[in-house]
Structure 1
Amino acid sequence: MYIPPDFGTVTPYFFVADAEAFVHFLIQGLGGTETLRSLRPDGKIANAQIRLGTSTVMVSESSAKYPPMPSSFYLYVADADQSMQKALTHGATIEMEVQDMPYGDRQGGVRDTHGNIWWISQRLVHAPYSE
């Protein structure tokens, strides 16, 4: 099995209304980097690939066949407090304030303007999760 560089076995694929604004949030609000973009004949995003840390996500403009479908994601960051502020500055709203969690993460949550929830998490311990 071949998986392209910078992709995982599972790659999130977002179908959103106003994909251009969503790509902007991924870059400005979550620190992503756009690596590829293709457009539909109407000029809307057919596929954009955004690198978030070690993961790539894909984004397309929604359509009647593929309507918007929000989801939830766990995003590891170097600094949860700073990352939360950046996301909030770029339009996200608070789901949960940043706090130290009993499982070794410093974590908060935001909802982006497209309805997706992002659990922004900074691992405080260098150990796997345990029961």
Structure 2
Amino acid sequence: MNIPTQYLPLMPYLILNEASAFLQFMKTVFNATEQLLVPADNNKIRHGELRIGEAVIMFADATEQWQEKPAGMYVYVAQVPETYAKALAQGATSLMEPHTQEYGFTAGFKDAFGNDWWIVEPEKE
């Protein structure tokens, strides 16, 4: 199997209302970087790709043919409280305030596009 170097064997693909706003949310909250952005008509996004570290998230604006399909995501972040606060400041709603679980320091929020995000700090070595 010859997977292109900029991709991984498995990547989420989100179909969203307001993909441009999602792009800005991801940049602000997760410091995501654009890998590829293919515009469509009427200032919509036909296909977008964002990177968070090595991970790639693909996304596009919903159309009549391709209906909205948000998802749930589990992401390791350097600072749970900071990421959680940025998300809420960008219009996300809390699903779970930051606290310690048996698997680490964690929190959850729902973004304005219908996606649930579960963020966790990796354990310190």
- For Structure 1 versus Structure 2, the TM-score category normalised by the shorter chain is over 0.9
SS at match of 2:15: strand
Q: Quote the sequence identity (%).
A: 30
Match of 1:113 in 2: 112
The residue that corresponds to 1:122 in the other structure is 121
Partners of 1:37 and 1:47 within 8 A in 2:
yes
Retained in 2: the 8 A contact 1:29–1:88? Answer: no
Q: Which structure 2 residue ranges, 5 or more long, are not aligned?
A: none
Runs ≥4 residues deviating over 4 A: none
Give 1:17 deviation, angstroms. Answer: 0.8
Structure 1 residue runs of 5 or longer lacking an equivalent are 127-131
d(CA) in 2 for partners of 1:74, 1:9: 17
8 Å CA contact retained: 1:15, 1:61 = yes
Using structure 2 for the length normalisation, give the TM-score. 0.92
What is the aligned residue count?
Answer: 125
TM value normalised by structure 1: 0.88
CA shift for structure 1 position 91: 1.5
Correspondence 1:65 to 2:60 = no
Preserved contact between residue 72 and residue 118 of structure 1 (Cα < 8 Å): yes
